[in-house]
Amino acid sequence: MTSALGVVERSAGAPVASHDATPPAIRINGVSKAYGHSGNAVVALDRLTLDVAPGEFVCLVGASGCGKSTLLNIVAGLDSPTQGSVEVTLGRPALMFQESALFPWLGVRRNIELALRLSKVPRNERRSRADALLEMVHLGGFGDKKPHELSGGMRQRGALARALAQRASVLLMDEPFGALDAMTRDILHDELDRLWRENGLSVLFVTHNVREAVRLGDRVVLLSSRPGRVVAEFDVDIDRPRRIDSSEIANAAAAITDRLRAEVRRHADD
Protein backbone atom coordinates (compact mmCIF):
# COMPACT_ATOMS: atom_id res chain seq x y z
CA MET A 1 0.00 0.00 0.00
CA THR A 2 1.32 3.44 -0.85
CA SER A 3 1.07 6.53 1.27
CA ALA A 4 -1.26 8.27 -1.14
CA LEU A 5 -3.89 8.14 1.56
CA GLY A 6 -1.56 9.60 4.16
CA VAL A 7 -1.72 6.44 6.20
CA VAL A 8 0.02 3.12 5.70
CA GLU A 9 -1.53 0.09 7.26
CA ARG A 10 0.96 -2.19 8.87
CA SER A 11 0.60 -5.86 8.11
CA ALA A 12 -0.32 -7.75 11.22
CA GLY A 13 2.57 -8.99 13.25
CA ALA A 14 5.19 -7.29 11.13
CA PRO A 15 8.23 -6.30 13.18
CA VAL A 16 8.91 -2.62 13.36
CA ALA A 17 12.44 -1.36 13.01
CA SER A 18 12.41 0.98 15.97
CA HIS A 19 11.45 -1.82 18.31
CA ASP A 20 14.77 -3.48 17.83
CA ALA A 21 16.83 -0.31 18.23
CA THR A 22 15.60 1.09 21.55
CA PRO A 23 13.42 -0.38 24.26
CA PRO A 24 9.86 0.96 24.07
CA ALA A 25 8.55 3.58 26.48
CA ILE A 26 5.45 1.47 27.04
CA ARG A 27 5.30 -2.25 26.46
CA ILE A 28 1.85 -3.79 26.65
CA ASN A 29 2.31 -7.50 26.42
CA GLY A 30 -0.63 -9.83 25.91
CA VAL A 31 -2.87 -7.90 28.29
CA SER A 32 -6.33 -9.32 28.98
CA LYS A 33 -8.90 -7.88 31.31
CA ALA A 34 -12.07 -9.67 32.32
CA TYR A 35 -14.70 -8.40 34.71
CA GLY A 36 -16.90 -10.68 36.73
CA HIS A 37 -16.53 -14.38 37.39
CA SER A 38 -15.54 -17.11 35.00
CA GLY A 39 -19.09 -18.16 34.12
CA ASN A 40 -20.42 -14.79 32.99
CA ALA A 41 -17.22 -12.82 32.71
CA VAL A 42 -17.12 -9.84 30.38
CA VAL A 43 -13.85 -9.68 28.50
CA ALA A 44 -12.88 -6.05 28.04
CA LEU A 45 -9.41 -6.63 26.63
CA ASP A 46 -8.17 -9.76 24.91
CA ARG A 47 -4.44 -10.46 24.65
CA LEU A 48 -3.63 -6.96 23.55
CA THR A 49 -0.06 -6.30 22.59
CA LEU A 50 1.21 -2.84 21.79
CA ASP A 51 4.47 -0.92 22.12
CA VAL A 52 4.95 2.81 22.21
CA ALA A 53 8.44 3.96 21.26
CA PRO A 54 10.15 6.77 23.16
CA GLY A 55 8.98 10.08 21.74
CA GLU A 56 6.22 8.42 19.74
CA PHE A 57 2.63 9.71 19.62
CA VAL A 58 0.24 6.77 19.40
CA CYS A 59 -3.53 7.20 19.14
CA LEU A 60 -5.95 4.45 20.06
CA VAL A 61 -9.29 4.59 18.31
CA GLY A 62 -12.24 2.29 18.58
CA ALA A 63 -15.98 2.21 19.01
CA SER A 64 -17.68 1.98 22.38
CA GLY A 65 -16.73 -1.00 24.48
CA CYS A 66 -13.28 -1.46 23.05
CA GLY A 67 -11.70 -1.13 26.47
CA LYS A 68 -9.67 1.97 25.61
CA SER A 69 -10.11 3.51 29.02
CA THR A 70 -9.54 0.17 30.74
CA LEU A 71 -6.26 -0.14 28.91
CA LEU A 72 -5.12 3.34 29.97
CA ASN A 73 -6.06 2.61 33.56
CA ILE A 74 -3.98 -0.53 33.47
CA VAL A 75 -1.01 1.29 31.97
CA ALA A 76 -1.39 4.04 34.60
CA GLY A 77 -1.39 1.42 37.34
CA LEU A 78 -4.94 2.23 38.48
CA ASP A 79 -6.14 -1.21 37.48
CA SER A 80 -4.39 -4.53 37.07
CA PRO A 81 -4.62 -6.87 34.09
CA THR A 82 -6.20 -10.31 34.43
CA GLN A 83 -3.40 -11.62 32.25
CA GLY A 84 -0.31 -10.26 30.61
CA SER A 85 1.97 -7.46 31.68
CA VAL A 86 2.54 -3.78 31.22
CA GLU A 87 5.92 -2.12 31.46
CA VAL A 88 6.46 1.60 31.50
CA THR A 89 10.20 2.04 31.20
CA LEU A 90 10.40 5.82 31.46
CA GLY A 91 9.13 6.40 35.00
CA ARG A 92 5.64 6.74 36.35
CA PRO A 93 3.26 7.85 33.61
CA ALA A 94 0.97 10.87 33.84
CA LEU A 95 -2.70 10.49 33.02
CA MET A 96 -5.17 13.03 31.73
CA PHE A 97 -8.92 12.54 31.63
CA GLN A 98 -11.82 14.02 29.70
CA GLU A 99 -12.38 16.25 32.72
CA SER A 100 -9.41 18.16 34.03
CA ALA A 101 -9.71 16.49 37.46
CA LEU A 102 -7.89 19.51 38.88
CA PHE A 103 -8.56 19.67 42.61
CA PRO A 104 -11.33 22.25 42.90
CA TRP A 105 -10.20 23.61 46.29
CA LEU A 106 -6.78 24.60 44.96
CA GLY A 107 -5.84 27.27 42.46
CA VAL A 108 -4.17 26.09 39.28
CA ARG A 109 -0.70 26.91 40.58
CA ARG A 110 -1.36 25.11 43.85
CA ASN A 111 -2.58 22.09 41.90
CA ILE A 112 0.73 22.04 40.04
CA GLU A 113 2.69 22.60 43.25
CA LEU A 114 0.94 19.64 44.85
CA ALA A 115 1.95 17.45 41.91
CA LEU A 116 5.53 18.68 42.33
CA ARG A 117 5.37 17.99 46.06
CA LEU A 118 4.09 14.46 45.50
CA SER A 119 6.97 14.00 43.06
CA LYS A 120 9.38 14.94 45.88
CA VAL A 121 10.42 18.29 44.43
CA PRO A 122 11.97 20.41 47.22
CA ARG A 123 9.73 23.15 48.58
CA ASN A 124 11.90 26.07 47.47
CA GLU A 125 11.81 24.97 43.84
CA ARG A 126 8.10 24.32 43.59
CA ARG A 127 6.89 27.86 43.07
CA SER A 128 9.28 28.70 40.27
CA ARG A 129 8.74 25.37 38.55
CA ALA A 130 4.98 25.75 38.80
CA ASP A 131 5.21 29.22 37.28
CA ALA A 132 7.37 27.91 34.46
CA LEU A 133 4.84 25.15 33.76
CA LEU A 134 2.00 27.68 33.78
CA GLU A 135 3.88 29.75 31.22
CA MET A 136 4.47 26.63 29.17
CA VAL A 137 0.73 26.02 28.79
CA HIS A 138 0.03 29.75 28.41
CA LEU A 139 -1.71 30.13 31.74
CA GLY A 140 0.86 32.56 33.13
CA GLY A 141 -1.68 35.09 34.35
CA PHE A 142 -4.14 32.56 35.76
CA GLY A 143 -2.17 30.71 38.44
CA ASP A 144 -4.35 31.97 41.27
CA LYS A 145 -7.62 31.11 39.57
CA LYS A 146 -9.66 28.19 40.80
CA PRO A 147 -10.52 25.54 38.20
CA HIS A 148 -14.19 26.57 38.19
CA GLU A 149 -13.19 30.11 37.26
CA LEU A 150 -11.55 28.94 34.04
CA SER A 151 -12.92 27.78 30.72
CA GLY A 152 -12.85 24.09 29.80
CA GLY A 153 -9.87 24.53 27.50
CA MET A 154 -7.90 26.38 30.16
CA ARG A 155 -8.68 23.67 32.70
CA GLN A 156 -7.36 21.01 30.35
CA ARG A 157 -4.16 22.99 29.88
CA GLY A 158 -3.91 23.27 33.65
CA ALA A 159 -4.30 19.50 33.84
CA LEU A 160 -1.61 19.16 31.17
CA ALA A 161 0.73 21.37 33.20
CA ARG A 162 0.00 19.30 36.29
CA ALA A 163 0.74 16.13 34.34
CA LEU A 164 4.01 17.63 33.10
CA ALA A 165 4.86 18.56 36.70
CA GLN A 166 5.25 14.86 37.43
CA ARG A 167 8.27 14.96 35.15
CA ALA A 168 6.69 12.02 33.46
CA SER A 169 7.97 11.42 29.98
CA VAL A 170 5.04 9.12 29.29
CA LEU A 171 1.69 10.83 28.95
CA LEU A 172 -1.55 8.86 28.84
CA MET A 173 -4.56 10.79 27.61
CA ASP A 174 -8.13 9.54 27.86
CA GLU A 175 -10.17 11.63 25.41
CA PRO A 176 -8.76 14.81 26.95
CA PHE A 177 -10.43 17.14 24.46
CA GLY A 178 -13.69 15.25 24.11
CA ALA A 179 -15.72 17.80 26.04
CA LEU A 180 -14.37 20.90 24.31
CA ASP A 181 -15.83 22.90 21.46
CA ALA A 182 -14.26 22.33 18.05
CA MET A 183 -12.40 25.64 17.92
CA THR A 184 -10.79 25.20 21.32
CA ARG A 185 -9.97 21.59 20.55
CA ASP A 186 -8.31 22.62 17.31
CA ILE A 187 -6.08 25.13 19.08
CA LEU A 188 -5.25 22.68 21.85
CA HIS A 189 -4.17 20.14 19.22
CA ASP A 190 -1.57 22.67 18.10
CA GLU A 191 -0.59 23.25 21.72
CA LEU A 192 -0.27 19.55 22.52
CA ASP A 193 1.65 18.96 19.31
CA ARG A 194 4.12 21.67 20.37
CA LEU A 195 4.48 20.44 23.96
CA TRP A 196 4.93 16.87 22.81
CA ARG A 197 7.79 17.82 20.51
CA GLU A 198 9.47 20.26 22.90
CA ASN A 199 9.38 17.81 25.80
CA GLY A 200 10.10 14.63 23.87
CA LEU A 201 7.05 12.94 25.37
CA SER A 202 5.78 9.49 24.58
CA VAL A 203 2.03 9.75 24.28
CA LEU A 204 -0.71 7.15 24.30
CA PHE A 205 -3.84 9.05 23.32
CA VAL A 206 -7.30 7.51 23.41
CA THR A 207 -10.07 9.01 21.30
CA HIS A 208 -13.10 7.99 19.32
CA ASN A 209 -12.51 10.85 16.92
CA VAL A 210 -10.58 9.41 13.98
CA ARG A 211 -9.62 12.81 12.56
CA GLU A 212 -8.21 13.86 15.87
CA ALA A 213 -6.19 10.64 15.94
CA VAL A 214 -4.79 11.29 12.47
CA ARG A 215 -4.15 14.96 13.28
CA LEU A 216 -2.04 14.07 16.32
CA GLY A 217 -0.63 10.58 15.96
CA ASP A 218 2.49 9.14 14.44
CA ARG A 219 0.55 5.93 14.51
CA VAL A 220 -3.13 5.13 14.86
CA VAL A 221 -4.10 1.83 16.44
CA LEU A 222 -7.60 0.56 15.75
CA LEU A 223 -9.18 -1.57 18.44
CA SER A 224 -12.09 -3.95 18.09
CA SER A 225 -14.92 -3.92 20.57
CA ARG A 226 -15.91 -6.57 23.09
CA PRO A 227 -13.34 -7.85 23.47
CA GLY A 228 -10.78 -5.16 22.75
CA ARG A 229 -8.08 -6.36 20.37
CA VAL A 230 -5.76 -4.61 17.98
CA VAL A 231 -7.44 -4.84 14.56
CA ALA A 232 -5.13 -2.70 12.52
CA GLU A 233 -2.29 -0.23 12.88
CA PHE A 234 -1.69 2.71 10.59
CA ASP A 235 1.44 4.80 10.27
CA VAL A 236 0.45 8.37 9.65
CA ASP A 237 2.61 9.70 6.88
CA ILE A 238 1.62 13.37 6.89
CA ASP A 239 4.08 16.18 7.53
CA ARG A 240 3.71 18.35 10.58
CA PRO A 241 2.45 20.94 11.26
CA ARG A 242 -0.86 19.36 10.34
CA ARG A 243 -4.28 20.89 10.00
CA ILE A 244 -7.30 18.89 11.01
CA ASP A 245 -9.30 20.37 8.13
CA SER A 246 -6.74 19.50 5.45
CA SER A 247 -7.69 17.07 2.73
CA GLU A 248 -4.78 14.78 3.65
CA ILE A 249 -6.16 14.32 7.16
CA ALA A 250 -9.67 13.87 5.81
CA ASN A 251 -8.56 11.17 3.36
CA ALA A 252 -6.48 9.35 5.92
CA ALA A 253 -9.29 9.51 8.45
CA ALA A 254 -11.73 8.17 5.85
CA ALA A 255 -9.56 5.11 5.26
CA ILE A 256 -9.40 4.36 8.98
CA THR A 257 -13.08 5.12 9.50
CA ASP A 258 -13.95 2.55 6.83
CA ARG A 259 -12.13 -0.09 8.83
CA LEU A 260 -13.78 1.10 12.04
CA ARG A 261 -17.24 0.92 10.45
CA ALA A 262 -16.54 -2.59 9.20
CA GLU A 263 -15.62 -3.46 12.76
CA VAL A 264 -18.87 -1.96 14.08
CA ARG A 265 -20.90 -3.90 11.45
CA ARG A 266 -19.53 -7.14 12.81
CA HIS A 267 -21.52 -6.47 15.97
CA ALA A 268 -24.83 -6.02 14.17
CA ASP A 269 -25.82 -9.61 14.83
CA ASP A 270 -24.68 -9.74 18.45
Residue 67 or 147 having the CB closest to other proteins = 147
Q: What is the largest CA-CA distance in the chain?
A: 61
Q: b/e for 237-268, b at 16 or more Cβ within 10 A?
A: ebeeebebeeebbeebbebbeebbeebeeeee
Select 78 or 250, whichever has its Cβ closest to other proteins: 78
CB of 101 to other proteins, least distance (A): 4
Find the binding residues for other proteins in span 139-198 (CB under 8 A). Answer: 139-142, 146-154, 162, 166, 183-184, 187, 190-191, 194, 197-198
Number of residues forming the site for other proteins (CB under 8 A): 48
* Dist. CA 252–CA 183, nearest whole Å: 21
Residue 17 or 183: the one with the smaller Cβ distance to other proteins is 183
Q: Could you give the strand order of the β-sheet that contains 230-236, starting from the edge strand earlier in sequence?
A: 7-10, 230-236, 219-223, 57-61, 202-207, 170-174, 94-96
Interface segment toward other proteins; rule CB under 8 A; list 128-136, 208-216, 217-225, 247-255? 128-136
Q: Which of 114, 121, 179, 254 binds other proteins (CB under 8 A)?
A: 114
Q: Does 99 bind other proteins (CB under 8 A)?
A: yes
Instruction: Determine the angle formed by the axes of helices 152-165 and 182-199, rounding to 10 degrees.
Output: 20
234 φ, ψ to 5°?
A: -125, 130
* Binding region for other proteins (CB under 8 A): 73, 76-78, 92-95, 97, 99, 101-106, 114-115, 117-119, 132, 135-136, 138-142, 146-154, 162, 166, 183-184, 187, 190-191, 194, 197-198
